[in-house]
Amino acid sequence: MQGGHTPWVHQNAPPPAPPQPDTARANFRWTSSADRIDPFAEGPHYGPVLEPFLVRAVSATIRVNPLVSPPTDSHDDYLRWNMIFPTSTCYRTTGPKRSWIKGREAPATFPRLSQIRIISRSFPWMITVKARRQNIGVTCGEVVEAISAYFHGDVAKKEYEGVTTRRRREIWQAYQFNRSTDSNVPGGHLGEQLRRLDWLGSNSRWGGIVRSDEFVKEACGDVLPCTFELKCIPSYPLTPEEANEQQRIARHAENRSRSRSRSRPTSMASRSNSNEGRDTETTTEEDDEEYE
């Protein structure tokens, strides 16, 4: 149409074809739905990594990766681990009974977080897990490793003395049992020091982490962002295969410890000899507080 005039159309001409959809846009919608990335997929993708203070600011709803969540009737792929043993004994229920590999680098939450905090009804401490790589966020493997490292730390003397007599007796019994020759415990390589894992008693089995705003508020006085509850559930007797594997790992850890002790640098020995006759041991305030 030019100059306001209607163009002439032959009376027998076929009607114009209906408008066609935007093919590119339709294909984009289809591929976006079909090829959508799993929010818990490994790698630096699918959204930003949030700092804890931003979670509350943007009212983000945090979901926990099913792999590190408690098992459910509809989800049978989860971690199995007695937390008094090294993380090398943790395995996935759907995989071979060996130390888990697949899923270690998967994000522990969605949206991804730069750090999380963990509390529990089974111990009085707060465990902080920080992401080693800021573009990926806290991973499932980092959660397990941080918990294990914390549990193998020493209990301060004032912490032990601050609980009831009955609770001290329970902790002491767990301490004795964990260092026994029973195949269900690590044994003597734990050392003489009272460790946080002894605090768990019989509830030493991994039960997953969950969002529990009610418990967080009860324990911390407020609903702190990025704070989750660790479920500690009763341990179970090991199968003969698991017992053999635990003992093998324990022997390996003990041999590595002895090897490190024998391979100290000569310079360290020389420095020690030069200081003979003097007390060169440094005691920190934290060491003074450790249970002995």
User: Which segments in the chain show pLDDT lower than 50?
Assistant: 1, 6, 21-35, 266-292
Task: Answer yes or no: is 22 within a domain.
Answer: no
Quickly list H helices, 204-276. Answer: 213-220, 240-262, 266-274
Confidence (pLDDT) at 16:
59
Task: Answer yes or no: is 252 within a domain.
Answer: yes
Task: Answer yes or no: is 60 within a domain.
Answer: yes
- Tens digit of each residue's pLDDT (9 = 90 or more) over 34-51: 346 788 888 877 678 999
Confidence (pLDDT) at 198:
98
Give whole-number Cα distances, 163 to 45, 103, 170, 219, 226, in Å: 46, 38, 11, 16, 28
Confidence (pLDDT) at 28:
33
Q: Which of 222, 11, 40, 201 is nearest to 119 (CA)?
A: 222
Phi and psi at residue 92, in whole multiples of 5°?
Answer: -85, 140
Task: Answer yes or no: is 14 within a domain.
Answer: no
Confidence (pLDDT) at 137:
95
- Tens digit of each residue's pLDDT (9 = 90 or more) over 98-109: 788 899 999 999
- Tens digit of each residue's pLDDT (9 = 90 or more) over 191-205: 999 999 999 999 999
Task: Answer yes or no: is 58 within a domain.
Answer: yes
Confidence (pLDDT) at 69:
95
- Which pair of structure tokens corresponds to residue 170? 């329970």
Containing structural domain, residue 145: 40-259
Tell me the C-alpha distance between 189 and 152, whole Å.
Answer: 12
Residue 102 β-bridge partners: none
Task: Answer yes or no: is 174 within a domain.
Answer: yes
Tell me the C-alpha distance between 280 and 92, whole Å.
Answer: 47
Phi and psi at residue 256, in whole multiples of 5°?
Answer: -65, -40
Task: Answer yes or no: is 232 within a domain.
Answer: yes
The answer to whether residues 29 and 36 touch, using CB atoms and an 8 Å cutoff, is no
Residues with Cβ within 8 Å of residue 151, at least 6 apart in sequence? 83, 84, 195, 196, 197, 200
The answer to whether residues 77 and 94 touch, using CB atoms and an 8 Å cutoff, is yes
Q: Which of 152, 136, 139 is nearest to 193 (CA)?
A: 152
Domain count, the chain: 1
Confidence (pLDDT) at 246:
65
Task: Answer yes or no: is 272 within a domain.
Answer: no
- Which pair of structure tokens corresponds to residue 175? 């301490």
Confidence (pLDDT) at 279:
39
Tell me the C-alpha distance between 289 and 280, whole Å.
Answer: 20
